[in-house]
Structures are given as structure tokens and as C-alpha cells.
Copies of this chain bind each other. A is one copy, B any other.
Amino acid sequence: MDVKTLCLGALSFGEATGYDIKKFFECTFSYFFVASYGSIYPALADLTEKGWVACHCEAQDGKPDKKVYALTDTGRAAFAQELGRTPPNHKIRSEFLVLMYFAHLLPKDKIADLVDQRVTEFERALEHIREFEQRHGGDECSSPPPGARICCGYGKAVTIAAREYLLNQRAAIVQLGTDGADSRNWD
């Protein structure tokens, strides 16, 4: 599965510009999929050529024309088919954990910073999820699909577990590091 397909997915909830789609990626997929303008705009051009999305321009003063994209029927079918044959991979690429693995080569204060930083990021993510839950509290009628709740729940469960682990082990992890103020400051 690539950015192109995810753009179809984003458009399955309604019309949008490339700019909107980037926003969409950021606020709903960010936990498990990222994409930048440099991949979204070419993707939309490609999808238009294939006839999977249709585009109409809205002139604006000063700003460049707004290109609003919409999923075509062919596009909708292509998206469903693509979903059907997507292998359900789940990959983590974590420089943070690499650093933890090699903690014995890092100064203690640095490790403490790394752990605290990560905990903070987890907290931010949880805040983000809480906001989502409030926005889409009782009302079953609003935009996000039911699967969004599952993804949020999943993210929440995993993030809480990770945060708890780091907080419990913080002292032990820091102890793995080297002493000596700020090793290797002599370079």
C-alpha cells in the first residue's frame, strides 16, 4: 500500500485538495502512516491520469487555483480492490529503541533526556486521542468511519503500555549509561 492508495482512502470521505489531504494524513493517519506534499501531489496527478479521481479547479485571487479532487466510481472500486489485496504489514522503525539497545555507550544524562522526551511525546499522542474521543463522543453521525475508533483505541492501549514501561524502568535504563559528565565532548 502506498500514498496513492491512501489518497483514494482520504477522498472516500469527500472532496478535498492536496493541501486538505496532507492535513487529513496528519490528523488521522499520523500514528501509522505519514506522507509529505512531495508524494501527495504527484500521487494525485497520477490518479487523475488513471481516471480514479476527477479534479475541478476553483479560481482564487492571489493564491494559486484550488484543485479540488473527488473520487470517481472507478476509483472507489479500485480502492476497495486494493484494500482487499493489501498484505496487513505492521512495521516499526525506531531509532529510539536502537539507542536504548546501545545505552551502555551513551552518557546517563543523555539517556534520561531521551526517555523523558519519548514519554512526553507519548503524552502528546494521548492528548491527541483524548481530543478525538471528545469531538466524536456520543454522536454516531459525524464523519470519521467506525474503524477510526478502533485505531484510536489501539493506539491508546499501546501508547499507555509504552509510557508505563518507560516510566517504571526509567531509573534502571539511565543506570545503563556511562558516567563522566558528558562523555565525548572532546571532539
* A residues adjacent to B (C-beta < 8 A): 1, 6, 9, 12, 28-29, 31-34, 79-81, 83-84, 86-106, 110, 114, 117-118, 121, 145-148, 150-151, 153-154, 157-158, 160-162, 164-166, 169, 172-173, 176, 183-184, 187
Most buried by B among A91, A147, A172: A147
Given A84-B110, A146-B104, A184-B81: A97 touches B164 (CB 8 Å cut-off): no
Across the interface, A98 reaches (CB within 8 A) one of B9, B106, B110, B161, namely B9
How many copies of this protein are present in the complex? Answer: 2
| Listed A/B pairs (24) with beta-carbon separation below 8 Å | A1-B98, A12-B102, A31-B97, A32-B94, A33-B93, A79-B105, A80-B183, A86-B98, A89-B93, A90-B96, A92-B92, A100-B147, A101-B147, A101-B148, A101-B151, A102-B145, A102-B147, A103-B150, A104-B145, A146-B176, A150-B173, A158-B161, A160-B161, A161-B162
- Assembly CA distance A29 to B106 (angstroms): 18
Instruction: Give the nearest-CB partner of A97 in chain B.
Output: B32
Distance in angstroms between the alpha carbons of A22 and B80 in the assembled complex = 37
Chain B residues, CB < 8 A from A34: 91, 93
